Structure 1
Amino acid sequence: MPKHARKRQKLSQSLSKTHQVDDDSRLEALLDDASKDEEERRLESLLFGKTFRTKGKAKKGAAWKDEEDADGEDVEDKNDEDMEVGGGREMENLLDGDLFFIDSGDANIPGPTFSNSDQSENDDEDDEDDASSSSSSSSSSSHRKARPKPNLKHGKAPAWHDPSDPSTSVSLSSSKRLRKLRNAPDEDELGAREYESRLRRQFEKINPEPEWAKKARLARVKKAKSIRTQGDENDKEDENEDDDADTSFDMQTLLNSTSGIVSKRSTKLPILPAGTINIERLRDANISSQGSGGCGDIKSLAFHPSDRVPVLAVGSEDRRVRMYNIDGHTSPLLTTLHIPSLPITSQSSIQFHPGGTHILLTGPRPYFYVYDLQSGTLLGGAGDTNKTGRLEGNRGLEISSFSPDGSILAVAGRGGYVHLLDWASSSSGGGIGSGQVVASLKCSGTGGGVSGVWWVPTASTGGSTLAVLTGDSEIYIWDVAERRCVSKWRDEGGFKGAGRVLAGSPSLGSGAKPGSNIGLINIYDSSTFGASLDTLQSTPKPVKILEHLTTPISSMKFNHDSQLLAVASREKKDAFKLYHFPSFTSYSNFPTLSTPLGHVSSIAFSARSEYMAVGNKRGRVLLWSVRGYCV
């Protein structure tokens, strides 16, 4: 059926009306300046010669207002506040090609010269200068050159003034890269100060100020304003306090005094709390030598007795003694001693002399070595005698101990003997380690031998009292000056072969702690070791029995002031406990299940207990920092 001509005519008329409506709406959208951004209106002004109006500076369809107009002042003040917080938004719609450039300048244009006073001003002053200068230049006439109107605060006086600054000007039309600094299309010349603020503003647009920096800057400005509003009386009081503080650091006063410049360390001992301990894990003490194939089981650890020398001596299964400079970070290796003929087997195989000048090296041999720290030489110790039960034919010298003054060395021998070596005569006469055995102390019974020796720090005897633990769990107290036994008793709960380790406190007022082969540790009071056979009525009772470990005790060590006791057993993994004294309680936060202890074989504290070193069978020397002793 043929199509009707009338229907086609109506359809064409409706289509023409639709196109006409679309054209009218498109034209209205093109003429509506409210829906356009500043970039689009700026291009229209350049192409069609229309007057460019910035949003916020003038209303739609109105001309540019003068700077002194009342409405314009309100808008300008509002924009100044916005720029103080956000840095201004005049050029936020520029293209990336106009924002990112390298400002190399032009050779024909003289560069601006800036004074040091401009560079030394605070950031808050620069931001306020940027806001005031940008607002003043944007409100200027299109036929008039934009001149900066800085609103400077006189917080600091300039160090010097450059007379060429006011006369320096930069033309923005000389280079295309400088056009993005304009606030108006026909703006041309800028002063030195204004040019600097425009460059700073452009940089902040590309690299916005972080929120934390903005908050800190505003807080600093607020604090400065609050300080300025204080009264004169408060200012005078502050000045007097500052004068008093400056007087103590006056150079003339310092030069007129003979006292030390560096303050001395406080002699007051810190008191550690019970329950939890503030301790921090550090890098291993022997980390510098762990990558060289390993060193085997760590047998002995010893810190230098002086707190000024942070040196740790480490004796390992490979018959080497390595010394490290402990700093908590890298702990570099200082030197290595290799002694093939002397195995290192016990915790006391390495001992520093109390004077800190020598290291005693002992083992399961009837001789010892002495390393001179000052000369770096290794000396062999003799000491063979022809008397029965002395050093000749002895099983070894690995159990030994220096007296507190370092004049006598007590060495455990065979059959319950304890030999006393005159170390003072060897260092002053015939050489280190050449002293003679001046006496031998015989403990009754020969079944278990000697398991430990400890010099009792009693003030009445001048440090000449020696405590000896035998393998039969018997404790002997010897008066070294008179060569006689003043006290003797059997350790409570002990039996033959049960005595393993004897650890004594290095400070006055604390007792000894014998460790057994079943993990029990008996704690005796210090008065027990000062009692004689006449005054000792019955077997002393321990004041505390520690039962946390169930395997034989292999290592026990006190720190320098007897507030900490570290106990370990090498028979079981992670068998380590740290106790607080005098509460006799273990710390609940150390060690934890995640502490990588392993099989602990040796323990050592530094001279002031800042560090605690723990050696294990894997050849690692774990290091901790006891924060309570750190200054």
Structure 2
Amino acid sequence: MGKQSRKRQKTSKEDVQPLGSSTVVDDADKDDEERQLESMLFGVPYVPSQKSDGKRRADDADVVVISDVEDGATERHLKELENMLDSDLFFIDDGAGSSSIKAPALDEGASEHDENESGADIAIEEEPLPHEPETVDDTAITESDPDDSNIQVSLTSHTRLRKLRDAPAEDTVGGREYERRLRRQYEQINPTPEWATKARKKSHPKRQRSTSGSEPEVEVDVEDIIPDLLASTGGISGGKKPKTLSPGIISVDRLRDANQAAPAEGEIKSLQFHPSPQIPILLTASTDRRLRLFHVDGLTNPHAQTLHIPSLPLTNAMFHPSGSSILLTGPRPFYYTYDLQSGTSHLWTSCAFNPTGDVLAIAGRRGHIHLVDWRSGAAQVVAGLKANAGIRSLWWSRSDRSGPGALLSLTEDAQVYVWDVGQRKCVKRWQDEGGFGSRLMGGDQGGKYLAIGSNIGLVNMYSADSALSLDVPKLKPLKTLGNLTTNISCLSYNHDAQLLAMASSVKKDQMRLVHLPSLTVFGNWPTTSTPLGHVTAMDFSTGSEYLAIGNNRGRVLLYQLRDYTGQ
């Protein structure tokens, strides 16, 4: 095919003037108003019309230019307006027939030009609605839209609005009343903090108004709080001692998962917060043979580090009491330690630390307990203990009467051995009441409580002092908690021994929170809708601000305890 020639576009020979050029087109049909508008929009010079004589017909404020081509009706209308007052020319339209808004009239001696030049806004005074008192409190609305009084809102039109009703039969309210009830509902859900209320009252002497309208206003002089705040080194909401928890109800908030930045690919076997309150680090050990460290801030919880150990299936991981290293154990005749400062790991042949971290007790086979000297750094076994049955659980006590700490071991036959580590002998042995397949033992940091969990979900609570005392040969539990029905797999205390978390990994959502002073279970949390799953590990943060819960799906749920955060 032959090449087709392109068609050239025809261009006009007329000169095209760009916008803003200096060329002025004087169109006789344009009036002065159109010329002024064209000058403002396009930037062309303004040239007045030659046919207008510029008659001035206005007062001191305005100048009106009238063209000769206008008819005589306009001139007669302007003459009528000259004899009218300014207050009759202008009014404020609020959209209602009878308005409660009054506009003050301008003084006869002052012109509109003077008012506009001053830049002052028109003050609108509003009369209070019949249902509102004459005086309102400090939280009342000072500025609002006048049209709000004409709005009618149906409180039964939407499910969320029904809670704003004062009576079941109430339906429609005005705009102002609707706004007032929304503010009331917000303040009920989000009350003003106590420190803010006190600071507001003491900020400066002010007039307290009565909301009833019947009591007179009273002048109350209070001292300024600013010098007190400047003289204090603590925060506004700080400096308070942790309050004693009340039984029955606890305030818990769900936060973003602690390991959301790096989820595990298997079941969470162990988790623990760093023992130092200045280091908000959480470790997690999972069945994918990985140890992960997270910086817990309650918001994003960033991932800090991952340690992969292919040769050791992790079943337990714990911080050294000093927080300098991590002990990793599993179903192998060896274990790892990871130095947090140097970032190196060590493997030793051949699990609870004593309170000082100097001695590590390892449960061996057939009732043997190996004592490892941790101070030497060579993992040397310095002594051994022997029970009559296999060891189920170990726990070190912090009791002063036992020196650096006594070692307690729970055996398969539900026997509790109290060991004197210095003398390498058992000083006391007692039977767990019931003997329902005892499998887990744990006590709090202060050495006040001792809990023993069984295979059928029962948890016996003992006094730790009675468990160690040689004067009490047979122990009776303080209480037996039967809130769970399957074998206990997790026991965790908070830092001040007011809370105990107990859980079972056999069934879904088998976890309870115990109020230790009253030995009762909190009834409001967790609920049936709390997505716990099969709980496999738990731990409280150093100050009990957070509770971390690991499950078999590799998630670490994070909850905030309001009673320990001051919220």
Could you tell me the TM-score, scaled by structure 1's length?
0.59
User: Could you say which residue in structure 2 is the equivalent of 1:613?
Assistant: 548
Quick one: structure 1 residues 247 and 491, their matched pair in 2 at CA, closer, same or farther if it must change by over 3 Å? closer
CA apart distance, 1:629: 0.8
2:365 alignment counterpart: 414
What is residue 544 of structure 1 aligned with on the other side?
Answer: 479
Corresponding letter in the other structure for 2:401: S
Q: 2:429 aligns with which of 449, 473, 488?
A: 488
Q: CA deviation at 1:66?
A: 8.1
After superposition, what is the alpha-carbon deviation per residue over 1:288-319, rounded to whole angstroms, capped at 9, x for unaligned? 124xxx51111111100112211110111100
Distance change in 2, residues 1:595/1:228 (3 Å): closer
Match of 1:340 in 2: 310
Shift of residue 502, structure 1, vs aligned partner: 0.8
Cα distance, 1:530 vs. partner? 2.3
1:352 to 310, 316, 319: 319
Does structure 1 retain, via aligned residues, the 8 Å contact 2:95–2:147? no
1:64 matched to which residue of 2?
A: 84
- 2:337–2:346 CA contact under 8 A, matched in 1: yes
Does the alignment pair 1:516 with 2:454?
yes
Alignment of 1:433-512 (within 5 A): 434-445=378-389, 449-494=390-435, 498-508=437-447, 510-512=448-450
Does the residue aligned with 2:383 lie in a helix, a strand or coil?
strand
Q: Does 1:274 align with 2:247?
A: yes
CA contact (8 A) 1:577 1:591 kept: yes
What displacement does 1:536 show? 3.8
Residue in 1 aligned with 2:106? 136
What secondary structure does 1:528 align onto?
helix
Asked if residue 50 in structure 1 is aligned to residue 17 in structure 2, the reply is no
1:319 matches 2:319: no
Change (3 A) 1:246 1:573: closer
- Which amino acid is the alignment partner of residue 84 of structure 2? W
1:89 match: 93
Contact 1:136 1:148 in 2 (8 A): no
Residue 279 of structure 1 and its aligned partner are, at CA, apart by 0.9
Contact persistence 2:512–2:526 (CA under 8 A) = yes
For 1:588, the equivalent position in structure 2 comes to 523
Question: Could you tell me which amino acid in structure 1 is paired with residue 458 of structure 2?
Answer: L
**1:378-437 Cα shifts (integer Å, max 9, x gaps):** 32132x4xxxxxx4xxxxxxxx111111111111111111111111232xxxxxxx2311
Give the conservation status (yes or no) of the 8 Å contact 2:535–2:551: yes
Q: 1:511 corresponds to which letter in structure 2?
A: Y
CA distance in 2: counterparts of 1:91 and 1:519, whole angstroms: 71
Q: Does 1:146 align with 2:112?
A: yes
Partner SS state of residue 476, structure 1:
strand
What is aligned with 2:534? 599
Counterpart code for 1:323 = L
The answer to whether the aligner puts 1:565 opposite 2:531 as a matched pair is no
Measured against aligned partners, the alpha-carbon deviations of 1:328-370 in whole angstroms (never above 9, x if no partner) come to 221110110100111112xxx1111111111111111222212
CA–CA distance in 2 between the matches of 1:273 and 1:371?
40
Match of 2:557 in 1: 622
* Inter-CA distance 208–527: structure 2 relative to 1 (3 Å threshold): closer
Partner of 2:256: 283
**What letter corresponds to residue 520 of structure 1 in structure 2?**
L
Structure 1 residues 46 and 619, CA gap change in structure 2 (3 angstroms): farther
- In the TM superposition, 1:23-42 aligns within 5 A as none
In the comparison of the two structures, how many residue pairs are matched?
Answer: 416
In the aligned structure 1, how far is the partner of 2:557 from the partner of 2:490? 15
Could you tell me how far apart the structure 1 residues matched to 2:432 and 2:381 are?
Answer: 29
1:547: Cα distance to partner? 1.3
CA distance in 2 between counterparts of 1:338 and 1:569 reads: 28
Residues in 2 aligned to 1:280 and 1:607: alpha-carbon distance in whole angstroms? 18
Question: Which structure shows the higher helix fraction?
Answer: 1
Take 2:502 and 2:80, find their aligned partners in 1: how far apart are those partners? 84
* Alignment CA distance shift 1:470-1:265 (3 Å): farther
Sort the Cα spacing of 1:470 and 1:228 in 2 relative to 1 into closer, same or farther, 3 A: closer
Cα distance in 1 between the residues matched to 2:73 and 2:380: 109
| Worse-matched range after superposition: 307-316 or 364-373 | 364-373
- Residues 86 and 106 of structure 2 are in contact (CA less than 8 Å); yes or no, is this contact kept in structure 1? no
Q: Residue 89 of structure 1 aligns to which amino acid in structure 2?
A: D
Q: What is the CA-CA distance between 1:48 and the residue it aligns to? A: 7.0
Cα distance change on mapping 1:422 and 1:274 into 2, 3 Å:
same
Whole-angstrom CA distance in 2 between matches of 1:477 and 1:263: 48
**Larger Rg computed on CA atoms:** 1
Residue identity opposite 1:454 in structure 2: W
Distance 1:586 1:90, change over 3 A: closer
1:565–1:131 CA distance, 2 compared to 1 (3 A):
same
Match of 1:371 in 2: 338
Rounded Cα–Cα distance in structure 2 between residues aligned with 1:628 and 1:489: 37
Kept in 2: contact 1:455–1:463 (CA 8 A)? no
Match of 2:489 among 533, 544, 554: 554
Return the alpha-carbon distance in structure 2 between the equivalents of residues 529 and 315 of structure 1.
Answer: 32
Structure 1 residues 378 and 44, CA gap change in structure 2 (3 angstroms): farther
Residues of 1 paired with 2:409 and 2:432: CA distance?
A: 12
Task: Report the CA distance shift for 1:261/1:65 in structure 2 as closer, same or farther (over 3 A).
Answer: closer
Structure 2: stretches of 5+ with no match in the other structure? 1-69, 125-143, 149-174, 181-203, 210-217
Q: Measure the CA separation in 2 of the matches of 1:262 and 1:275.
A: 31
Tell whether the 8 Å contact from 2:510 to 2:535 is kept in structure 1 after alignment: yes
| Range with greater deviation from structure 2 (548-557 or 332-341) | 548-557
SS at match of 1:529: helix
Q: Deviations over 1:495-545 (max 9, x none)?
A: 6xx22111112113x23111111111111122322222xx344x3121211
Structure 1 unaligned spans of 5+: 1-42, 55-61, 80-87, 93-127, 150-189, 201-206, 217-223, 385-390, 392-399, 427-433
Q: How does 1:247-258 map to 2 (within 5 A)?
A: 247-248=227-228
CA contact 2:373–2:381 (8 Å) conserved in 1 = yes
- Structure 2: how far apart are the matches of 1:45 and 1:414? 119
The structure-2 alpha-carbon separation of the partners of 1:228 and 1:414, relative to structure 1 and needing over 3 Å to count, comes to closer
Over 3 Å counting, the alpha-carbon distance change for 1:246 and 1:476 in structure 2 is: same
Residue 260 of structure 2 corresponds to residue 309 of structure 1: no
Aligned counterparts of 1:210 and 1:470: Cα–Cα separation in 2: 78
Deviation string, structure 1 residues 6-38 (Cα, Å, up to 9, x no partner): xxxxxxxxxxxxxxxxxxxxxxxxxxxxxxxxx
1:465 CA displacement = 0.6
State how 1:158-169 maps to structure 2 within 5 Å: none
Superimposed CA distance per residue, residues 170-189 of structure 1 (whole angstroms, 9 cap, x where no aligned partner): xxxxxxxxxxxxxxxxxxxx
1:131: Cα distance to partner? 5.8
Verify the 8 A CA contact 2:467 2:475 in the aligned structure 1.
Answer: no
- The answer (yes or no) to whether the contact 1:578–1:590 under 8 Å persists in 2 is yes
Matches of 1:299 and 1:569, distance apart in 2: 13
Offset at 1:264? 11
Partners of 1:417 and 1:597 in 2: CA distance:
36
Counterpart CA distance in 1 for 2:331 and 2:444 is 26
* Structure 1 match to 2:22: none
Instruction: Give the TM-score, by structure 2 length.
Output: 0.65
Structure 1 residue 209, shift from structure 2 partner: 7.0
Distance 1:416 1:53, change over 3 A: farther
